[in-house]
């Protein structure tokens, strides 16, 4: 992978970005989770061989945290988009 | 041995195979998934120490084709946590006996391992590591540029580099070893004791009934098993997922490269935690160099130009005299990184399904001790004290082993 498409800035050299790990939503009610759920959230990973939804940060650019869907073997990026708190009509997508 | 070598020189044709192919049975007491150093060592110690020989080692490609043949072959025990130091020191001792044990030269070269410190903070970390090491009886000490200049004359110790060298952690027992020979030695002696070795046998599924593992599915058919051990690197999560076990692992590639062969000029291993590079000269004269894991998790084993650019820049800061040396090749291996830079060894929530995974950037150093301990665990059902800190349940107990002495960890 050489280029990554920032939803804000367009295609940029991947070295401008920092990888933020796989998408792992925080438990909806953090105070109500038991130890097993908390361990799962903190440490356990799907570590998917295939298309993975993941975080990226445009560190040397607009400093936007955004989501990408990338195949972890070929490193092909299928799409990148902004995160939104409320799901809109296209799921979590606001910009593609 | 030498007479055999002479005889071989005058004969035509291939040398005799080191082991013969065996038939794939439909049941084994122990099935080991992964024919790398760890898997083969476990099979060897199961047969040698515990008399368990109904063992199959299943390998997707050929033995040693994963991390065991892709690492930079460095062996050392100067880690940061007492748990880590004790564990890796046992491994270095077992490596020391290996050539004699196997009657096979694994070319262990105990040449001394130097970890450079470029900042005040790094000097403090090195001092702490030296003290932890010495408390565990490991030869390790902090040295200053005058001694460093005697040990490694080509190193640039002036104040010209961007990060001048201030001190180093010196670990005389550290060395390099021929990694393929280690794999072949274990394979040969495991097979001699009755272990079955099946290459080109990819595992496609694991059957679990009522919380207990009953067998594995492979591309060559189903195999029943009493115990299944996952000893894969890179695919640890994929295999564990077949048994319904989720691991705290993210897989990242780590790249390394070698230069054209040079006359011998570097007889120590040089590591810089701050610059994320390490270098040693092989017996053939090639400089073997590596860096930190790639900046994002991936199962891809392709090399990148940014790795070469970064590595060469840092290497020239340490050794300006290498500026005309050409690179011959580069490659990547997969590293299963855990949150605390320590491996995961032992039982899982599925009865009979064990793991020896999460070996990140430190798996090769641990092959003998890991094999010995996993064999003991399988044979007795009891977790040996040496590997109890590395159990999978440490994550739900929130009792991690933060091993910041691992390679690719900055200071």
Is there a domain that residue A86 lies in? no
Q: Are residues B264 and B165 part of one domain?
A: yes
Q: Find all residues with CB under 8 Å of B61, minimum gap 6, and list them.
A: B199, B200
At B254, give phi and psi (nearest 5°): -130, 130
Q: What percent of chain B lies above the pLDDT cut of 90?
A: 89
pLDDT digits (tens, 9 = 90+) for B277-322: 999 999 999 999 999 899 999 999 998 999 999 999 999 999 999 9
Of B247, B248, B300, the CB nearest to A73: B300
| Structure tokens that stand for B136 in this block | 């565990």
Subunit contact B250:A47, Cβ cutoff 8 A: yes
Greater model confidence, A20 or A84: A20
Is there a domain that residue A7 lies in? yes
Q: Distance of CA B212 to CAs B142, B207, B225, Å?
A: 50, 9, 11
Helix %, strand %, coil % of chain B (to 5): 35, 25, 40
| Structure tokens that stand for B304 in this block | 């990148």
Domain membership of residue B155 as a residue range: 109-172+251-337
Q: Are residues B257 and B241 part of one domain?
A: no
Subunit contact B395:A39, Cβ cutoff 8 A: yes
Q: Are residues B343 and B333 part of one domain?
A: no
Which chain B residues are Cβ-neighbours of A42 within 8 angstroms? 395
A74 touching B (Cβ < 8 Å)? yes
* CB-facing half-sphere around the CA of B382: CA atoms within 13 A: 4
| Best mutation target, A43, A52, A74, to test chain B (most B CBs within 10 A) | A43
Q: Are residues B256 and B241 part of one domain?
A: no
Residues composing chain A: 96
Give the bridge partners for B224, in sequence order. B27, B215
pLDDT confidence tier of residue B339, bands split at 50, 70 and 90: very high
Q: Helix (H) and strand (E) counts for chain B?
A: 9, 19
pLDDT digits (tens, 9 = 90+) for B7-40: 777 877 777 788 888 999 999 999 999 999 999 9
Q: Are residues B183 and B332 part of one domain?
A: no
Is there a domain that residue B84 lies in? no
Nearest residue of chain A to residue B246 (CA atoms): A44
pLDDT of residue A91: 56
Single out the residue in B337, B359, B382 at which a domain terminates.
B337
Single out the residue in B337, B361, B381 at which a domain terminates.
B337
B339 touching A (Cβ < 8 Å)? yes
Question: In which residue are the tokens 């869907």 written?
Answer: A69
Is there a domain that residue A23 lies in? yes
Is there a domain that residue B97 lies in? no
Q: What is the mean pLDDT of residues B181-197?
A: 96
d(CA B298, CA B139): 37
pLDDT for B411 beyond 50: no
Q: How many domains does the structure of chain B reveal?
A: 2
Q: Distance of CA B260 to CAs A22, B226, B322, B325, B333, Å?
A: 39, 49, 11, 7, 21
Q: Distance of CA A7 to CAs A3, A11, A62, A72, B319, Å?
A: 13, 9, 10, 20, 42
Of B251, B300, B306, the CB nearest to A15: B306
Subunit contact A35:B396, Cβ cutoff 8 A: yes
Instruction: Give the DSSP letter of residue A25.
Output: P
Subunit contact A19:B339, Cβ cutoff 8 A: no
d(CA B255, CA B119): 25
pLDDT digits (tens, 9 = 90+) for B136-161: 999 999 999 999 999 999 999 999 99
Is there a domain that residue A96 lies in? no
Domain membership of residue A71 as a residue range: 3-81
pLDDT for A94 beyond 90: no
B244 touching A (Cβ < 8 Å)? no
pLDDT of residue B403: 81
Question: In which residue are the tokens 């009953």 written?
Answer: B214
Closest CA to A59 of A8, A2, A96: A8
Of B237, B306, B339, the CB nearest to A47: B237
Q: Are residues B308 and B231 part of one domain?
A: no
- ipTM value of the model? 0.87
Which chain B residues are Cβ-neighbours of A69 within 8 angstroms? none
Q: Are residues B256 and B328 part of one domain?
A: yes
Is there a domain that residue A19 lies in? yes
Q: What percent of chain A lies above the pLDDT cut of 90?
A: 75
Size of interface A-B (CB pairs under 8 A): 58
Q: Are residues B192 and B133 part of one domain?
A: no
Q: What is the CATH number of the domain that holds B58?
A: 3.50.50.60
pLDDT for B125 beyond 80: yes
Roughly what angle, to the nearest 10 degrees, separates helices B82-102 and B120-135? 60
Q: What is the CATH number of the domain that holds A10?
A: 3.30.2270.10
Closest CA to B21 of B187, B198, B148: B198
pLDDT digits (tens, 9 = 90+) for A41-78: 999 999 999 999 999 999 999 999 999 999 999 999 99
Measured between CA atoms, how close is B241 to chain A, in angstroms? 8
| Structure tokens that stand for A14 in this block | 């991947």
pLDDT for A95 beyond 50: no
Q: Are residues B63 and B25 part of one domain?
A: yes
Greater model confidence, A39 or A29: A39
Is there a domain that residue B104 lies in? no
Q: What is the mean pLDDT of residues B224-239?
A: 96
Is there a domain that residue B96 lies in? no
Q: Are residues B359 and B223 part of one domain?
A: yes
pLDDT confidence tier of residue A96, bands split at 50, 70 and 90: very low
Is there a domain that residue B10 lies in? no
d(CA B43, CA B29): 12
Is there a domain that residue A87 lies in? no
Which chain B residues are Cβ-neighbours of A4 within 8 angstroms? none
Is there a domain that residue B5 lies in? no
pLDDT for B254 beyond 90: yes
Q: How many domains does the structure of chain A reveal?
A: 1
Of B248, B299, B395, the CB nearest to A73: B299
Say if pTM beats, i.e. exceeds, 0.90: yes
d(CA B312, CA B316): 6
pLDDT for A14 beyond 90: yes
Q: What is the CATH number of the domain that holds B272?
A: 3.30.9.10
Helix %, strand %, coil % of chain A (to 5): 15, 35, 50
Q: Are residues B257 and B134 part of one domain?
A: yes
Which chain B residues are Cβ-neighbours of A14 within 8 angstroms? 296
CB B57 within 8 A of CB B44: no
Q: Are residues B258 and B321 part of one domain?
A: yes
Of A35, A36, A43, the CB nearest to B248: A43
Nearest residue of chain A to residue B241 (CA atoms): A46
pLDDT of residue B406: 66
| Structure tokens that stand for B131 in this block | 């003290």
Q: Distance of CA B197 to CAs B43, B44, B186, B213, B229, Å?
A: 10, 11, 11, 21, 14
pLDDT digits (tens, 9 = 90+) for B53-96: 999 999 999 999 999 999 999 999 999 999 999 999 999 999 99
């Amino acid at each position: 992978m050489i280029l990554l498409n920032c939803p804000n800035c367009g295609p940029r050299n991947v070295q401008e970005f920092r990888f933020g790990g796989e998408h792992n939503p925080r438990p909806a009610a953090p105070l109500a989770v038991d130890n097993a759920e908390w361990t799962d959230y903190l440490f356990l990973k799907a570590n998917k061989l295939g298309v993975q939804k993941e975080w990226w940060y445009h560190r040397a650019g607009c400093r936007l945290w955004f989501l990408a869907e990338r195949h972890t073997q070929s490193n092909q990026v299928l799409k990148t988009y902004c995160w939104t708190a409320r799901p809109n009509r296209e799921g979590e997508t606001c910009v593609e | 041995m030498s007479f055999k070598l002479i005889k071989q020189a005058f004969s035509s044709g291939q040398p005799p195979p080191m082991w013969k192919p065996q038939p794939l049975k439909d049941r084994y007491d122990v099935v080991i998934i992964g024919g790398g150093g760890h898997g083969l060592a476990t099979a060897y110690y199961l047969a040698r120490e515990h008399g368990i020989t109904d063992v199959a080692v299943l390998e997707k490609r050929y033995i040693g084709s994963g991390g065991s043949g892709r690492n930079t072959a460095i062996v050392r025990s100067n880690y940061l946590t007492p748990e880590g130091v004790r564990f890796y020191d046992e491994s270095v001792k077992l490596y020391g006996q290996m050539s004699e044990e196997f009657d096979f030269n694994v070319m262990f070269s105990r040449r001394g391992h130097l970890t450079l410190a470029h900042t005040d903070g790094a000097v403090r970390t090195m001092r702490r590591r030296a003290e932890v090491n010495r408390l565990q009886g490991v030869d390790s000490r902090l040295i200053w540029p005058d001694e460093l200049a005697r040990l490694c004359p080509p190193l640039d110790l002036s104040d010209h580099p961007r990060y001048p060298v201030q001190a180093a952690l010196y670990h005389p027992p550290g060395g390099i070893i021929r990694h393929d020979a280690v794999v072949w030695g274990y394979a040969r002696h495991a097979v001699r004791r009755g272990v079955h070795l099946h290459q080109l046998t990819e595992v496609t599924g694991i059957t679990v009934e009522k919380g207990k593992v009953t067998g594995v599915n492979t591309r060559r058919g189903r195999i029943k098993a009493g115990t299944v051990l996952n000893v894969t690197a890179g695919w640890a999560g994929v295999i564990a997922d077949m048994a319904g076990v989720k691991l705290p692992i993210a897989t990242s590639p780590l790249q390394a490269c070698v230069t054209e062969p040079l006359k011998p000029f570097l007889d120590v291993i040089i590591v810089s935690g701050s610059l994320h590079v390490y270098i040693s000269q092989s017996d053939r004269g090639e400089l073997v160099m590596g860096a930190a894991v790639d900046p994002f998790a991936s199962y891809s084993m392709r090399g990148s130009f940014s790795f070469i650019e970064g590595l060469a820049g840092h290497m020239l800061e340490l050794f300006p005299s290498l500026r005309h040396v050409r690179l011959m090749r580069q490659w990547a291996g997969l590293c299963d990184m855990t949150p605390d830079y320590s491996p995961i060894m032992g039982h899982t929530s599925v009865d009979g399904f064990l793991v020896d995974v999460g070996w990140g950037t430190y798996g090769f150093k641990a092959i003998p001790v890991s094999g010995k301990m996993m064999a003991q665990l399988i044979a007795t059902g009891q977790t040996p004290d040496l590997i109890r800190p590395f159990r999978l349940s440490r994550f739900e107990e929130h009792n991690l082993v933060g091993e910041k002495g691992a390679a690719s960890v900055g200071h």
